[in-house]
Amino acid sequence: MIAVLFPGQGAQTPGMLTPWLALPGVASHLRELSNATDTDLIAHGTSSDADTIRDTAIAQPLLVAAGLATAREALGDTIPGLVAGHSVGELGAAALAGVIDDAEAMRLVAVRGRAMAAAAAAAEPTSMAAVLGGVEEDVLDRLDQLGLTPANINGGGQIVAAGARAGIEALVADPPARTRVIALQVAGAFHTSYMQPAVAALAEATAFAEPRDPKLKLLTNADGTEVTTGHDALDRIVAQVANPVRWDLCQARMLELGVTAILEVAPGGVLTGLAKRSLKGVPAVALKTPDDLPAARELLEQHA
């Protein structure tokens, strides 16, 4: 069984769409997805600099558009066994699973990105940091002492902390034993209570959607379980904005379900990197440029 995975915010890089525009199928799909938002995603994916695409309102639609366009190109008529997305990647996964169409996913991610950016701007100064290594219990205790939230528990010894900037600075200055802490260049404390205003905005937007039940196995970030109805899928995507991402549980569930290979859509690399530590021995291909398509299609032939 092959799992198709959609990366989350932070995976974007300047010029990441440029090589893909040489493929007519991807280029036309990207134009359609860009038209579904109020943002010129092709321009941002080719000429915008790192600071510009770090903006939450730009980064999130850009990532989902890249993921959907490259997933459709790689898969063709092939049906994967499972789909999942990290954070904002859940919207791309929901579209691939048939819960919503691609245009609806883009409409919702545009609302999500703008709402999360606004919530971050309205709150006290907040930030995030990646904690690598250490004993998980010790890391969680330290975050609790500082009033921080484990916003992403990614498995493989990686936890992303989020909260007040002062707490993040204290974590960087005095990290838990045997850990390395890296401050992240983000606009706010995502997947925490600071994002509650964005939850309300996204909930209002999903009220106009007409979700369908998933056609593929679809995992939720909340606890790694399978989502069986369209309405539940959207409800969980809404709640996820202000709640932690449990990618560790998603990966554990993949093993339980018998996943034998992983395809990470563009801009791939982050989730396949995590899989090397948590799903050891499971072959993976990350789509970074069209040069990765032959390997992706070979993987699909062997495992789909």
Class of the domain covering 124-184: alpha beta
Give the pLDDT confidence score for residue 187 in this predicted structure: 81
Round to whole Å and give the CA distance between 111 and 92: 14
pLDDT at 38: 82
Q: Tokens at residue 47, please?
A: 């000429």
Q: What is the pLDDT of residues 40-72, one digit of tens each?
A: 999 999 999 999 999 999 999 999 999 999 999
Q: Is 191 tagged catalytic?
A: yes
Tokens of 138: 């010790």
Beta carbons of 265 and 251 less than 8 angstroms apart:
no
On whether the 2-121+192-303 domain is CATH 3.90.1150.10, my answer is: no
- Average pLDDT, stretch 269-298? 96
Q: Extract the tokens encoding 116.
A: 């999360």
> Of 87, 127, 278, 303, which is the active-site residue?
87
Q: Which residue intervals of the chain bear CATH 3.30.70.250? A: 124-184
Question: pLDDT band for position 211 (50/70/90)?
Answer: very high
Residue-wise pLDDT tens digits, 253-269: 999 999 999 999 999 99
Query: What spatial distance separates the first Cα and last Cα of the chain, rounded to whole Å?
Result: 6
Is the CB of residue 197 less than 8 Å from the CB of residue 122?
A: yes
- Given a contact cutoff of 8 angstroms between Cβ atoms, the answer to whether 217 and 257 are in contact is yes
Nearest alpha-carbon partner for 82 in 223, 270, 246, 254? 254
Q: Who contacts 275 (Cβ-Cβ below 8 Å, separation ≥6)? A: 251, 262, 282, 284
Listed in order, the ranges of the chain carrying CATH 3.40.366.10 are: 2-121+192-303
**Is residue 231 among the annotated active site residues?**
no
* Average pLDDT of the chain, as a whole number: 96
Q: How many CB atoms lie within 10 A of CB 218?
A: 26
State residue 62's pLDDT score: 98
Largest CA distance in the chain: 53
Kindly tell me if the per-residue pLDDT of 300 is higher than 90.
yes
Where does the pLDDT of residue 304 fall: very low under 50, low under 70, confident under 90, or very high at 90 and above? confident
Global confidence as pTM? 0.96
Q: Which of 29, 44, 191, 303 is catalytic?
A: 191
Q: Is 55 helix (H, G, I), strand (E, B) or coil?
A: coil
User: 153 pLDDT exceeds 90?
Assistant: yes
Q: Residue 73: which residues within 8 A CB-CB, separation 6 or more?
A: 20, 23, 25, 26, 29, 293
Is the predicted pLDDT of residue 186 greater than 90, yes or no?
Answer: no
* pLDDT tens digits along 238-248: 999 999 999 99
Percent of the chain with pLDDT over 90: 96
